[in-house]
Amino acid sequence: RPVPVPGATPVPAPVPIPIPVPDPNPSPAAAPQDWQVRYQQDAPVAPRFDVNAPDLYIPGTASSALAWLLLEVLAVLLSLYLVALPADLTTIDLVAFAGYKYVGMILGLLSGLLFGATGYYVALSWCCLSIFVFMIRTLRLKLLSEAAAEGVPVRGAKNQLRMYLTVAVAAAQPLLM
């Protein structure tokens, strides 16, 4: 127990904020009616105590996904540069191709919500296989179109590098999902 100091102003103890317990079976009539943010001493209450308090979950998730997308595109561009492969790929093409994986992620999540864990894994497996085949076919056309224009033989060393890079990028897509 702290010893009071003579002449000091006592500091009031913080008032605990009651944590609402959610109803396990909410009905539409029991929907929250108060949508205002709660305050304690002129500061908003933490999001864990108030469902209406602003938090950074969605912006943080979106910026994380954008950072991974940009990192992936930069890795492919660096790979193309390091192996000195001229390609018919622009940065916008790479961003578009890499962004297709998010469609599969959303389909997997929706299937999981509708059909449970089995639906999730079936949809995610199908989407992973689909994005792999799509990337192989699309990147092969983009990377080998340059080789055909150069007149490089199909079994040449540069074409081997092109095919390895195509398979590596395509194989990374399901892993990043």
pLDDT at 108: 94
CA dist., res. 116 & res. 107, Å (int): 13
Better pLDDT: 4 or 74? 74
pLDDT digits (tens, 9 = 90+) for 17-66: 666 666 666 665 555 667 777 788 877 787 777 777 777 777 888 888 89
What are the C-alpha distances in Å from 113 to residues 52, 61, 103, 121, 123? 24, 20, 15, 12, 11
Classify 44 as helix, strand or coil. Answer: strand
Residue 57: predicted pLDDT:
78
Instruction: Kindly report whether the global pTM for this prediction surpasses the value 0.85.
Output: no
DSSP string, 76-127: HHHHHHHTT---S--HHHHHHHHHTHHHHHHHHHHHHHHHHHHHHHHHHHHH
Maximum CA pair distance of the chain?
A: 93
129: left (phi over 0), alpha (psi -120 to 50) or beta: alpha
Each residue of 66-101: pLDDT tens digit? 999 999 999 999 988 888 877 778 899 999 999 999
**1 or 133, which is more confident:** 133
pLDDT exceeding 70 applies to what percent of the chain? 75
